[in-house]
Amino acid sequence: MRRIAPKSPSALTRMRTAGRIVALALEAVRSHAQPGVTTAELDRIAEEAIRSRGARPAFKGYRGYPASICTSINEQVVHGIPGPRVLQEGDLLSVDCGAVWEGYTGDAAVTIEIGECSPEARRLVQATRAALAAAIAAVRAGVRVVEISRAVQQTAEAAGFSVVTTLTGHGVGRRLHEEPMVPNYVSPADLLSSPVLPSGATIAIEPMVNAGAAQVRTLEDKWTVVTLDGKPSAHFEHTVAVTEAGASILTLP
């Protein structure tokens, strides 16, 4: 079973600052996300919010990614690239954002309802948010990652939705992606080999929940992941630190 290294108190302090900057950037995006606004404009707003606080965007240039945030609309699950696309009434917009402060990373995501969305879309957003809350409630020192995965899957499926199985949450710290992987579903292998989280571990928990089937594919831009059946998806994420008392959310404003 893999051992997860805890972060030092000074590292956690830096990660909390990075996380706060991410949260403030997401708040800025949310306040401007409305019909008629382009995703490129939201990317500019997020980058300015990050850099004005002395941090740098964690995503820009990461493995060649060209923007500071990911903007995924409707059937786009994650990794949508900002550009000239204009937001429309009723869209679901998932925004993923990361920032690096003094060498440490914060990572979070929200799904924003643009104008008046359908009842089904609203229910999908509520269920995905609830899945994240259930996962965070399962976190404590000594817990196995599989229990976090189980909380996400049970919450999403109880609402009649499906979780994406080919993408996961992850450890985070000096690097955007570290050990352990944090799946949103339970596999037989997880029951045998799921790692134990020590106090001081830091992970990004990110349910990706589909209105229809779980299957996804990646578009020709090699980034944007979409649902195979074209039905909408929602995405929420927080970076949390593991403590004896439970999860401490690092990506709060």
Contact 205, 238 (CB under 8 A): yes
User: Residue 1: pLDDT above 70?
Assistant: no
Other Cβ atoms within 10 Å of 16 Cβ, number: 21
Burial class (CB in 10 A: 0-12, 13-18, 19+), 22: buried
pLDDT at position 68: 98
Q: Give me the residue spans of the domains in the chain.
A: 9-249
State the average pLDDT for the chain. 97
User: Residue 46: pLDDT above 80?
Assistant: yes
User: Residue 3: pLDDT above 80?
Assistant: no
pLDDT at position 189: 82
The SS3 call for residue 211 is coil
Q: Range with the lowest mean pLDDT among 75-79, 184-188, 215-219?
A: 184-188
pLDDT, tens digit, 9 for 90 and up, residues 209-251: 999 999 999 999 999 999 999 999 999 999 999 999 999 999 9
Is this structure's pTM higher than 0.75? Answer: yes
Burial class (CB in 10 A: 0-12, 13-18, 19+), 123: middle
Which element (helix H / strand E) includes 108?
Answer: strand 104-113
- The full length of the chain comes to 253
Residue for token pair 């949508």: 80
pLDDT, tens digit, 9 for 90 and up, residues 4-31: 989 999 999 999 999 999 999 999 999 9
pLDDT, tens digit, 9 for 90 and up, residues 130-178: 999 999 999 999 999 999 999 999 999 999 999 999 999 999 999 999 9
Share of the chain above pLDDT 70, in %: 99
Burial class (CB in 10 A: 0-12, 13-18, 19+), 116: exposed
Report residue 2's pLDDT band, with 50, 70 and 90 as the boundaries.
low
Domain 9-249 homologous superfamily, CATH: Creatinase/methionine aminopeptidase superfamily (3.90.230.10)
Average pLDDT over residues 89-105: 98
pLDDT at position 221: 97
